[in-house]
Chain A
Amino acid sequence: MNYFVFQIKTALSNFGRNKVRTVLTSLGILIGVLSVVILIALGLGLRNFIQGEFDSLGSNLLFILPGDVIGDDGQFSGGGGGGVISTSFDERDVSSLRSRINAEFIVPLYTSNARAQAGDITKSADVFASTQEAFTLFNFEPESGDLFNESDVTKRSKVVVLGNAIAKDLFGEPSNAVGQTVRFSEQRFKVLGVLKEEGGGNFGGPNFDRGLFIPYTTSFVTINTDRKFFAIYVRGSFEQDVEELKSQIERALLRRYDEDQFSVVKQTEVLNAIQSIFSIINTVLLAIGSISLVVGGIGIMNIMYANVTERTKEIGIRRAVGATKKDILFQFLTESVLLSVVGGVLAVVLAALIVAVVQQFFPLALDATAVLVALGISSAIGIFFGVFPARRAANLTPIEAIRYE
């Protein structure tokens, strides 16, 4: 026990006398661990975020998209005809589906860009034209005012529900927007309500916070004069078998279209395709992290190696007054373990802080395995290069070590 106290005290007083070196060594370990942990947290966070977005839509969701979107291998293929979407759907498809299949929601969607104007402020925004069911499908709730209802759809009411961000841009406060008028696409729309903040739009997905949500019927007047839809969302009830629903939809659509003119995609298929992209991103991040761990490790090696070599004379003196080889090894082991542990623990604490702060803007998730592996590798490097040269010095005779320069 006394012996351990002595070794730890020796180590601490050595640190005290070599503050710069101690800080640099710990810093090397800290940076190595921190970069790996943060990069992996970033990759995982992105993946969790996407997963969460999809989970909130429910697993019994199907997308009907024009063209042959998802290849046989489950990956996205270029889409119908190399990015040019050759077909799109219309009201006839929606009513044909409604009459032939039994689903909770069948929601057509049309989107386009628009410049929304209120008073003398003009902002760019995204038009989402759909039915009132879209709000339920996407779990949208109003922060102020109301959503449009079925009768607004049938009556082609000139009403709009604003995304949170565009409402703030145009009216300052979301609550100010209700009852006001917004102009876009040469029409005036009465603002019925403003949605709660949604987030999203980060990864090229739709940014609902900048959305202008209008009944699809209203869009036919000036915006969507072709009366086409880019997608139809179908959600089955919980008891319904998604596969069965999918083949029902396919049968219904095959009455009008060829097999390669449309795709019915399960939400899980989209998720898998996206996840496979993210696993590539994660691998890249991991590679970058590993490089920084190696770079940090080389820094640790240098400092540890120089440290021990410089202290060869001290090792010789200690050996001359009775220290065994094991005593010397233990002394340097204690020092390198303390350095590695302090650097590593600081890195983990710092990583946790960074994750906590950044999480408010961007998804990040700490991964225990990544933390342990990074800690393990950097400590192993630190300890090896702390102990290996010390072992060499301890194997010299005391006089050789004392004379070493």
Chain B
Amino acid sequence: MIATEKVSKVYQIADGEFYALKDVSINIKDHEFVSILGTSGSGKSTLMHIIGLLDRPSSGKVLIDDKDVSLLSDSELSSLRGQAIGFVFQQFNLIQKLTVLENILLPTQYVKGKLGFDAKKYAMELLTRFGISEKANIYPNRLSGGQQQRVAIARALIMKPTLVLADEPTGNLDSKTGEEILKLLESLNEELGVTVCIVTHDKNVAHRTKRQIFVKDGQIVAKY
């Protein structure tokens, strides 16, 4: 479903070039539940952004259903980002000027045409399930890190995407809430067939998924 072919990401730094990713080829199939595991600075987020169509590789190709995404138009890319993919940022990236509910509903505002469901109702359902329904009309800066993380997850799920990419989804959560989020992602995968890919540095979290991809210094390695 989504694959990379020899993807590299090079940053220009003071003393030359820095390869955040080097010749990364991975393939995530439909309905898979995978994790990308690696130490801090290994390039996990960089890879995730490229898979999520949020960043361009310096070289190599990203394929969605065997189509090269560099050939897609801006509106095709945007609708993939908005509707097919749900992205949970490591830094959440909520808009501080919008309330929790407005943040969660943001992706629905950019849907051309009619939504097939009541987005507001669904957003409240997600908030209730995450135990933060009373925070719906509060601004994100009034939330704890873990609460902001759950808002970010709710925003990623609001469009009922077929691919969920979550960058450290349990990073800011206690083990109990973290467990709930993992269960939710598991059930999305098992019950709804959503493709789920999570980034983590935690082996225990990674072992909850059916397959692990190891990243080290910007490259895929067989195992740690």
Contacts and interface: CB of A to CB of B under 8 A. Distances in A.
- Among A317, A325, A326, residue most surrounded by chain B Cβ atoms (within 10 Å): A317
A326 B94 CA distance: 21
Contacts of B79: 322
B110 A324 contact: yes
B78 A397 contact: no
B97 A320 contact: no
Given A398-B81, A402-B93, A321 B54 contact: no
Nearest to A398: B54
A320 B81 contact: yes
Interface residues of B, number: 26
Contacts of A397: 54-56
B147 interface: no
Nearest to B86: A321
User: Interface residues of A toward B: which range?
Assistant: 20 to 34
A317 B109 contact: no
A256 interface: no
A183 interface: no
B55 A321 contact: no
B75 interface: yes
Contacts of B75: 324, 326
Contacts of A402: 93
A158 interface: no
B111 interface: yes
A318 B49 CA distance: 15
B87 interface: yes
Given A399-B54, A400-B55, A319 B97 contact: no
Interface of B: 49, 52, 54-56, 74-75, 78-79, 81-83, 87, 89, 93-95, 97, 106-107, 109-112, 155, 159
Given A314-B95, A320-B54, A321-B81, 20 more contacts: A13-B97, A317-B93, A317-B95, A317-B106, A319-B81, A320-B89, A321-B82, A321-B106, A322-B82, A322-B107, A322-B110, A323-B78, A324-B74, A324-B75, A324-B110, A326-B74, A326-B75, A327-B78, A397-B56, A399-B49
Interface of A: 3, 6, 13-14, 17, 313-314, 316-327, 397-400, 402
